[in-house]
Structure 1
């Protein structure tokens, strides 16, 4: 069952009609690992897995995710949320949901989304998402959506500059943010309708996107490409217009923006 030290009691989201049950842990290896392990052990239905601190937190491509106390580390467990071909859409659903949760508390500067699913304030990363899945014995798919949101602190020296909500003028406690995120994720999943209306999610994602229409550099498995960030296509792939005018569809990669004040925005 992962590396947890001790399990907390089930934590109910206050005031949330239809809210998902919460399993909270003072310390755990990874909330995603715990969610998928519980699903393989027979847990059914949507759940939140929340930790005050993770000892083995990770981001995309296995990057270490620093997990200091005071930030939000939560995984949403979904069982059989869609047909397999729609699984790549879920990170965009989750990104739209976390954007809505944070934007709903921001009275001034609004956050933006960086492809595929980072939440940014003025070029600095405040939240990241990690989707992982596991095939269950009965053939269904268990999906864990991991959310890491910097509420009061952020790591220094990261390749992508980081920030936290407090630095951006937002005092949002993790349990409050989780309640907001529970509501926005459930609503966004309903709008997505198991992949039947990804077009609606795509429109909302593009409306919140940073760098759209501007120059970007994309790091791919086979090298780097430069061009303009035109859009995302109907499946969520980044549409890169290269310097020779050709369009490249990118399914996975790291996006970097031009230098701002002498520092490249990554």
Structure 2
């Protein structure tokens, strides 16, 4: 009922909605409406009530609660089922458990604060409360396990497009899964899989976005390499609206991918890639290789040509653009 009321007020945000109209639409009494309005106010919404006019939302909190996200949702699957926690060590861990318990495709785990989030190579991705988007999305693609890494690149394209759609800011992608804004990291993506040798049970896509961090919330070390959307834009960004945009872009690309394969995703990823054609240093477990990034394979493997014109296939590495 609260979600339906919020959706109704949000659709008519420029004007008032009468109590009579709400009562008929929701099938409840004026007293029940008033109680739900009070609940919205307690959740941080400023709701104006004017006799003979009705109700309207004046301001809304920058929350990522399920009912706020669903106001903006335009998807059929992704985000339709949400598990929300105010604070979690890691959304990935919860998503893995829910996937094993049979959660539907498109189920998303969200945390307003993440204290021990996972990054690549075992790094920690910390997300202070009220500033970030920390989420893990459960997908169940009917593809071979060898193709699952392609979904990391697909997710990166979806996030870049979602950010541009919501904020107007243009980001770039550094292989394989770092999203940069003005040369500084703003998004991390971690893809993990539950599978058998020839069958994928689920793919968990973890996405962390620096949305409303202030400069002083980054350590002095991180200020040189990380930023937030709010710092770049000069104003707060609606996290719920951004999440719904990312969900929409991800679902659209995912459906294309399942129908047409990675060939339709690859040129889109390359159009945002910052490292292609540039001299890079790739630090792998086996050692360091320097050369020119020539492109990616259909499996998302980076092709690096060294000074002896030997082309190396890089599956996992830290990349530094010279």
**TM class, shorter-length:** 0.7 to 0.9
* TM-score, normalising length: structure 2: 0.72
In the TM superposition, what are the counterparts of 1:62-211 in structure 2 within 5 Å? 62-69=122-129, 70-107=131-168, 110-135=170-195, 141-153=201-213, 155-156=218-219, 157-158=221-222, 161-169=225-233, 171-193=236-258, 196-211=260-275
Partner Cα distance (2:246, 2:284) in 1? 31
Aligned residue number for residue 10 of structure 2: none
Partner Cα distance (2:101, 2:262) in 1? 31
Larger CA deviation: 179-188 vs 157-166: 157-166
Aligned residue number for residue 4 of structure 1: none
| Cα separation, partners in 2 of 1:34 and 1:81, compared to 1, 3 Å | farther
Local SS of the residue matching 1:104: helix
Local SS of the residue matching 1:211: coil
- How many residues get paired? 247
Local SS of the residue matching 1:167: helix
Determine which structure has more spread, i.e. the larger CA radius of gyration. Answer: 2
Q: Give a deviation string over 1:195-243, Cα, whole Å, max 9, x none.
A: x420111100000010221111110111111111111122111111101
Give every structure 1 segment of 4 or more consecutive aligned residues whose post-TM-superposition deviation is greater than 3 Å. Answer: 8-12
Cα drift, residue 83 of structure 1: 2.4
2:93 maps to 1:33: yes
Local SS of the residue matching 1:105: helix
Higher-helix-fraction structure: 2
* TM-score, normalising length: structure 1: 0.86
Contact 1:95/1:117, CA 8 A, preserved across alignment: yes
Given the alignment, which residue of 73, 77, 81 partners 1:16? Answer: 73
| Cα separation, partners in 2 of 1:105 and 1:16, compared to 1, 3 Å | closer
Cα drift, residue 135 of structure 1: 3.8
In the TM superposition, what are the counterparts of 1:206-225 in structure 2 within 5 Å? 206-225=270-289
Which blocks of at least 5 consecutive residues in structure 1 are unaligned?
1-7, 259-266
Q: Give a deviation string over 1:68-120, Cα, whole Å, max 9, x none.
A: 1211001111124522221111101111110110122343x511011001110
Aligned residue number for residue 305 of structure 2: 241
| Cα separation, partners in 2 of 1:75 and 1:222, compared to 1, 3 Å | same
Local SS of the residue matching 2:126: coil
Structure 1 vs Structure 2 CA RMSD: 2.2
| Cα separation, partners in 2 of 1:140 and 1:214, compared to 1, 3 Å | closer
